[in-house]
């Protein structure tokens, strides 16, 4: 099954039932020429733990950008700082949405299979994570979505390209559910408070549309 919509300047598509059919949930997300495969798996049994054993692994493979690894043996290197930050960002967005008494181990794997060098993969990875959890049997109080908002020459841009981010006076990563904004991260030049609020409102409107798209997979 495949659903798609226009998000910012590109088409966002989410497809399931294509690969990784043994996972509890798996989706193939494409935004522009950037493609991310997200799989989620949960242990069949829960554990007597005082924490929730959630693992999020985000990897940008060298072949995704048409490169050959330069390390010994041409093997993929360990996750870099940028990959770890994206994994942490996804973790922060989804962890509060699991039931507090749920203690089964959950693994989320986000593999960037293709990078067009134009669009960052963090937003598609988070959207894919939410969609994969939503179609699985894992208890999850979602769906959730996110967008990045930039501002170039007083114009708000949803999911700006790398080039637009370089010229942007701000970069806000906004995540939320259909009825509320959950988190806002980012930075930029000094911006009036009312402009920040308007930016968050504009971002949440797009988030609501992405959530409707995810609900179409259920």
User: Using one digit for the tens of pLDDT, what is the confidence trace for 78-110?
Assistant: 667 889 999 999 999 999 999 999 999 999 999
* CA 182 from centre of chain: 14
* DSSP-based three-state secondary structure for 180: strand
Judge if the upstream peptide bond of residue 143 is cis by omega within 30 degrees of 0: yes
Closest CA to 126 of 114, 139, 143, 113: 143
Phi-psi category of residue 209: left, alpha or beta, with phi > 0 → left and psi -120 to 50 → alpha:
alpha
The pTM for the full model equals 0.91
User: Using one digit for the tens of pLDDT, what is the confidence trace for 41-58?
Assistant: 999 888 888 899 999 999
**Distance of alpha carbon 106 from alpha carbon 34, whole angstroms:** 25
* pLDDT value at residue 73: 57
User: Using one digit for the tens of pLDDT, what is the confidence trace for 150-203?
Assistant: 999 889 999 999 999 999 989 999 999 999 999 999 888 888 889 899 999 999
Residue 174 has a CB neighbour count (10 Å cut-off) of 23
**Distance of alpha carbon 27 from alpha carbon 181, whole angstroms:** 24
**Distance of alpha carbon 84 from alpha carbon 81, whole angstroms:** 5
User: Domains plus CATH for the chain?
Assistant: 2-215 (3.30.230.70)
CB-CB contact of 21 with 135 (8 Å): no
User: Using one digit for the tens of pLDDT, what is the confidence trace for 3-19?
Assistant: 999 999 999 999 999 88
Label the pairing between strands 34-46 and 10-16: unpaired
Q: Would you report the helix, strand and coil content of the chain in percent, each value rounded to 5?
A: 30, 35, 35
The DSSP letter of residue 128 is H
DSSP per-residue string spanning 13-29: EEEESSS-TTSSEEEEE
Q: What is the CA radius of gyration of the chain?
A: 17
């Amino acid at each position: 099954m495949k659903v798609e919509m226009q998000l910012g300047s590109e088409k966002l598509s989410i497809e399931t039932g294509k690969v990784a059919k043994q996972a509890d949930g798996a989706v193939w997300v494409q935004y522009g020429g950037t493609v991310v495969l997200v799989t989620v798996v949960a242990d069949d049994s829960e554990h007597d733990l005082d924490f929730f054993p959630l693992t999020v692994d985000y990897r940008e493979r060298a072949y995704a950008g048409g490169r050959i690894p330069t390390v010994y043996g041409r093997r993929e290197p360990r996750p870099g700082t940028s990959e770890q930050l994206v994994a942490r960002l996804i973790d922060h967005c989804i962890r509060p949405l699991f039931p507090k008494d749920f203690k089964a181990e959950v693994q989320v794997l986000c593999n960037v299979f293709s990078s067009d060098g134009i669009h960052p993969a963090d937003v598609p990875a988070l959207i894919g994570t939410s969609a994969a959890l939503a179609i699985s049997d894992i208890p999850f109080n979602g769906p959730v979505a996110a967008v990045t908002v930039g501002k170039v020459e007083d114009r708000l841009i949803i999911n700006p390209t790398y080039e637009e981010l370089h010229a942007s006076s701000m970069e806000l990563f906004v995540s939320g559910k259909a009825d509320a904004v959950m988190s806002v991260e980012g930075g930029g030049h000094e911006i009036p408070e009312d402009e920040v609020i308007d930016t968050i409102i504009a971002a949440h409107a797009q988030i609501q549309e992405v959530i409707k798209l995810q609900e179409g997979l259920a």
